[in-house]
Structure 1
Amino acid sequence: MSPSSKAPHGQSPLRTVQVLGGGNAGSSAHVRSLAEGLVARGVRVTVCAPSEADRAYDFTGAGAAHVHVPRSSDPASVAALRTVCTDADLVHAHGLHASFRAALALSGRPTPLVITWHNRAEAEGARAHLLRLLERRVVRASTVVLGTTSDLVDRARRTGARDARLAAVSLPRRSRPADGDDPDPLRPKTRAELGATGRPLLIAVGSLDRRRGYDVLLDAAARWRDLDPVPLVVIAGEGPLRPVLQRRIEEEELPVRLIGLREDATDLLAAADLALLPSRREARSVLAQEALHARVPLVATRVGGIPDLVGDAAELVPPDDPVALAAAVTRLLADPERREDLRDRGTRQAATWPTEDETVAQVLSIYDELTQPRPLA
């Protein structure tokens, strides 16, 4: 099937199943965008994901069928997935655990399995060993492994993948302001609601876990308390470290607010003076992409896929280095010309990223490569 056309006359449409686990924001948004693009090209798409994922990302609104499959890899969930995949020409799973369930469901069947790694799964101790075993099982069961960054592709190859490729993954389009426009007409109101009137606003978005490096961000925030006015750091997200972080904020009287999960995180970002990404590990960061698209200067750690993603359009600092992070933020806040330069660089860098059409075209070309001509309907 041509990437830009419907199924030829007399030929049945390609039938695909997209398997999503809990799904982080990046992989869920990618599946939604992919489903919409594939359906528009005449592909039949079924998304297997928890019901809450469909409510949040509206796969059915994109023209796909949705089947509730829990995150669990218990026999009932695998059996349900196996039933859905019975008539599929190809199965595409996103993330390690979804890929493991798909591999179990397709066991003994010749159906091609494509998997996409959006991030590297991390754990410590005995769980780390289990994750390595899962990775090995999954990549060896797959026909093609797609990695959103070159380091993920390299990891898949080292783990035993027969065919590992760099994925074109776009940030789903939103209505964005034209260059030179106010990025958010509600910006003053948003800043006032967050308590950032008359002071710099720094935004970070992501789960409150060790990978995100928010402990380092708090260390850095302690270093700019003497600035006048004092910048306010707002972190949108939830996670296991919230009690620890909140206790530190209160005990050390840090200029930081934890505001929990927010559906308007993109709007919050548009109101910010700087975006912060202090992660210890990161693949193709949604926050980094949103920041550059929104023309918000970004300070990020030099880890994983971040340098390739942002190029020279962000201030990059070493991970686990609060001194470097604090210094980069302080310099940027004092240098409006550098901030404007980063905005312009961000616009140019974002223009080099794959579009949604290019992402769908690449995926569909892989599907066509892996599927044989289908019988007449």
Structure 2
Amino acid sequence: MTQLRTVQVLGGGGAGSGAHVRSLAAGLVARGVRVTVCAPAELEDLYDFPAAGAGFAPVPGRGDPAALGALRSVCAAADVVHAHGPHAGVRAALALSGLRIPLVVTWHTRGQDGGARGRVLRLLERRAARAAAVALGSCSELVDRARLRGARDARLAPLAMPAPSGRPAGRAALTRAGLGAGDRPLVLAVGGLTPERGYRTLLDAAGWWRRLDPVPLVLIAGEGRGRAALERRIASEELPVRLLGRRDDIAELLVASDVAVLPSRWEARSPLAQEALRLGVPLVATAVGGVPELVGDAAELVPYGDVGALAGAVAGLLGDRVRRAELVRAGPAQAAGWPTEDETVAQVLSVYDELVAR
């Protein structure tokens, strides 16, 4: 049997899509598939795709002729091309112009619909949806969105994130000591410092939590263009918030925390939510996008942008040991029902086989 050849096309490689492609590449290679990842050069160091057995072709995440030519030269030898995100989908579709190679596009997340950028995004989404032989959505809302944009065949494909290798036992006290937390409750948020992450609401809630005794320490792990504005506000209002920058010890930070918070405007299958529930860390999250179907009853859900609801939910958990214990048990039980990495790879491979057989 001829070896199946696939090219995975990544653009910016957000935390969810980059980790998924790394996991998918490893699983496909293990099943005898030849995988090449096309992505900006910096993602090779970040995700080490060659260590997963995949080839790597550095291709800038833009649509100029040189980048498209480089992408086309790699994709021309593939049986199936799989793009991750509408931007990557449009670039892959342009690179495949005139070639009889099926295109799969996975929708990992969505952009904002308002303003000029929103109009451009809708155009990109329509082109990506119509070019795809199969569109895969990581949550039900994204499947509906792909269909709305004109996808001929849109399917639900929940993505599995690599599971943590057990609860980091015995490190919570050491991590707390390193943070200088003392006996204060720790509230942890993780994600890029951008407006859509909802950190403005989180800082509003942190001001409210100063009424508590002891006052919780809010930690935000991540980096981004909004850092300077957040720093100014934290300093001017003397908020009990610390920006940690990029961290590679999220599991340790979670286990040391009393509550994790996800105040985002929109999420599909949030890596933070997945890791928090797997580790049994109580989570307060906004009821947006794919979050409700991901967490079920294993987290406290609040409306996006509602300071009172977010502040009250976190304060309620900090003051209710019984409810926290319920969520500690509920998280891993909910996570046990999510698809495994192996099941995710098997579903994607079945799509490839179907398209090649056509």
TM-score range normalised by the length of the shorter chain: over 0.9
1:241-277 deviations in whole A, cap 9, x for unaligned? Answer: 2111111111111100111111222321221111000
Residue number in structure 1 paired with 2:250:
265
Query: Does the C-alpha gap of structure 1 residues 123 and 194 become closer, same or farther in structure 2, counting only changes over 3 Å?
Result: farther
Following the alignment from structure 2 to structure 1, what is the Cα–Cα distance between the partners of residues 158 and 211? Answer: 44
- 1:184 — aligned with what? 169
Q: In structure 2, how many angstroms separate the alpha carbons of the residues matched to 1:153 and 1:310?
A: 18
CA distance in 2, matches of 1:51, 1:257: 32
How far off its partner does 1:124 sit?
4.0
Give the whole-Å Cα distance in 2 for the aligned partners of 1:263 and 1:323.
31
CA contact (8 A) 1:211 1:281 kept: yes
Matched residues in 1 for 2:250 and 2:65: separation?
37
Specify the alignment match of 1:5 in structure 2. none
Counterpart residue number, 2:327: 342
Structure 1 segment 270-349 matched on structure 2, within 5 A: 270-349=255-334
Shift of 1:280: 1.2
**After superposition, what is the alpha-carbon deviation per residue over 1:217-256, rounded to whole angstroms, capped at 9, x for unaligned?**
0111111102111100000111222111111111111100
Residue 122 of structure 1 deviates from its aligned partner by 2.5
Deviations 1:331-351 (A, max 9, x none): 100111111100111111000
Aligned-partner residue type, residue 201 of structure 1: L
Structure 1 counterpart SS, 2:12: coil
Q: Give the structure 1 partner of residue 198 of structure 2.
A: 213
Moved over 4 A (4+): none
Q: Which of 67, 89, 94 matches 2:57?
A: 67
Between the aligned partners of 2:64 and 2:118, the Cα distance in structure 1 is 20
Q: CA RMSD in A?
A: 1.1
In the alignment, structure 1 residue 164 sits paired with structure 2 residue 154: yes
Q: Which residue matches 1:363?
A: 348
| Distance in 1 (alpha carbons) for counterparts of 2:154 and 2:181 | 46
Hey, what's the Cα distance between the residues in 2 that align with 1:372 and 1:320?
48
Secondary structure, counterpart of 1:258 in structure 2: strand
Counting matched residue pairs gives: 358
The secondary structure found in structure 2 opposite 1:224 is helix
Could you report, residue by residue, the CA deviation over 1:166-195 in whole angstroms, capped at 9, with x for unpaired residues?
013111133113xxxxx4322112112222
Matched residues in 1 for 2:219 and 2:164: separation?
Answer: 23
Matching residue within 226, 230, 233 for 1:248: 233
**Is 2:119 aligned against 1:134?**
no
Q: Is the 8 A contact 1:96 1:121 kept in 2?
A: no
Instruction: Report what 1:147 is aligned to.
Output: 137
CA distance in 1, matches of 2:209, 2:105: 43
Who is 1:46 aligned against? 36
Percent identity of the aligned residues?
64
How far does the alpha carbon of each residue in 1:52-102 deviate from its partner, in whole angstroms, 9 at most, with x for none? 211111110000101101111111111000000111000001012211111
Partner AA of 1:284 in structure 2: R
Whole-Å separation in 2 of the counterparts to 1:365 and 1:308: 24
Letter aligned with residue 78 of structure 1:
L
SS of aligned partner of 1:352: coil
* 1:33 and 2:23 aligned: yes
Deviations along 1:94-129, whole A, 9 cap, x unmatched?
012211111110111110000101100226422211
More off after superposition, 189-198 vs 216-225 = 189-198
Any conservation in 2 of the 1:232–1:256 contact (CA below 8 Å)? yes
Amino acid at match of 2:212: L
Query: Which TM-score applies when normalising by structure 1?
Result: 0.93
Q: How far, CA to CA, are the matches of 1:51 and 1:218 in structure 2?
A: 35
Cα distance in 1, alignment partners of residues 47 and 113 from structure 2: 28
Find the aligned partners of 2:180 and 2:64 in 1 and give their Cα distance. 46
Contact 2:113–2:122, Cα closer than 8 Å, also in 1: no
Partner of 1:225, secondary structure, is: helix
Structure 1: which 5+ runs fail to align? 1-10, 178-182
Distance in 2 (alpha carbons) for counterparts of 1:294 and 1:243: 32
1:174 aligns with 2:152: no
Question: Which secondary structure state, in structure 1, belongs to the residue aligned with residue 189 of structure 2?
Answer: strand
- Of 167-176 and 70-79, more deviation after overlay is shown by 167-176
Partner Cα distance (2:72, 2:17) in 1: 22
The farther-off stretch of 285-294 and 255-264 is 255-264
1: distance between equivalents of 2:64 and 2:129?
20
SS in 2 for 1:299: strand
Check conservation: 1:184, 1:271, Cα contact below 8 A.
no
Partner residue of 1:95?
A: 85
Amino acid at match of 1:162: R
Query: What's 2:185 paired with?
Result: 200
> Does the 8 Å CA contact 2:76/2:99 hold for their aligned counterparts?
no
**Structure 2 CA distance, aligned partners of 1:362 and 1:372?**
15
TM-score, normalised by the number of residues in structure 2 = 0.98
| Maintained 8 Å contact 1:38/1:45 | yes
Q: C-alpha distance in 2, partners of 1:372/1:350?
A: 34
